Structure 1
Amino acid sequence: MSDPAHAVPHPVLVPGSPVADSPPQVLDRREGPYGEAVLRRRGEHFEIIANGCFLMDTSDGRSERLLVDAALAELDGRPSPSVLIGGLGVGFSLVRATEEQAWGRITVVEREPAVIDWHRGGPLSAVSGAALADPRTEIVEADLVAYVRGGAGERTFDALCLDIDNGPDWTVTEDNGGLYSPAGLAACRERLTPGGVLAVWSAQPSSAFELALRNAGFTGVRTEEIPVVRGVPDVVHLARKGA
Structure 2
Amino acid sequence: MNASYETPVVLDRREGPHGEVVLRRHGELLQIIANGCFLMDTSDGRSERLLVDAALAALDGRPAPRVLIGGLGVGFSLAHAAAEPRWGRITVVERESAIVGWHREGPLAALTARALADERTEIVETDLVTYVNETSATFDALCLDIDNGPGWTVTEGNGELYAPSGLTSCARVLRPGGVLAVWSAKPSPEFEGTLWNVGFQQVRTEEIPVARGVPDVVHLAVRAG
TM-score range, shorter chain: over 0.9
Runs of 4+ in 1 over 6 A off after TM superposition: none
Deviation of 1:44 (Å): 1.1
Confirm whether residue 242 of structure 1 aligns to residue 191 of structure 2.
no
- Give the aligned partner of residue 157 of structure 1: 139
Confirm whether residue 101 of structure 1 aligns to residue 90 of structure 2.
no
Q: 1:186 aligns with which of 168, 172, 175?
A: 168
Matched AA of 2:62: R
- Give the aligned partner of residue 73 of structure 1: 57
- Give the aligned partner of residue 177 of structure 2: 195
- Give the aligned partner of residue 222 of structure 1: 204
Deviation of 1:119 (Å): 0.3
Deviation of 1:18 (Å): 2.4
Confirm whether residue 60 of structure 1 aligns to residue 52 of structure 2.
no
After the TM superposition, which residues 115-194 of structure 1 pair with which residues of structure 2 at under 5 Å, given as runs?
A: 115-150=99-134, 154-194=136-176
Confirm whether residue 91 of structure 1 aligns to residue 75 of structure 2.
yes
Please state whether the residue corresponding to 1:184 is helix, strand or coil: helix
Provide the aligned length of Structure 1 versus Structure 2: 225
Matched AA of 1:127: L
Deviation of 1:43 (Å): 1.1
Q: Separation in 2 of the partners of 1:94 and 1:19?
A: 26
Matched AA of 2:24: R
Confirm whether residue 27 of structure 1 aligns to residue 11 of structure 2.
yes
- Give the aligned partner of residue 7 of structure 1: none
Structure 1, unpaired ranges of 5+: 1-16
Deviation of 1:21 (Å): 2.3
Matched AA of 1:234: D
Please give the per-residue CA displacement for 1:32-62, whole angstroms capped at 9, x wherever unaligned. Answer: 1100000001111100000000000000110
Deviation of 1:22 (Å): 1.9
- Give the aligned partner of residue 114 of structure 1: 98
Q: Separation in 2 of the partners of 1:19 and 1:202?
A: 25
Q: Separation in 2 of the partners of 1:19 and 1:193?
A: 44
Q: Separation in 2 of the partners of 1:59 and 1:23?
A: 16
Please give the per-residue CA displacement for 1:57-96, whole angstroms capped at 9, x wherever unaligned. Answer: 0001100110000000000000000000000000000000
Structure 2, unpaired ranges of 5+: none
After the TM superposition, which residues 201-212 of structure 1 pair with which residues of structure 2 at under 5 Å, given as runs?
A: 201-212=183-194
Moved more, 66-75 or 20-29: 20-29
- Give the aligned partner of residue 45 of structure 1: 29
Q: What TM-score, normalized to structure 2? A: 0.99
Deviation of 1:230 (Å): 1.1
Q: Separation in 1 of the partners of 2:53 and 2:133?
A: 25
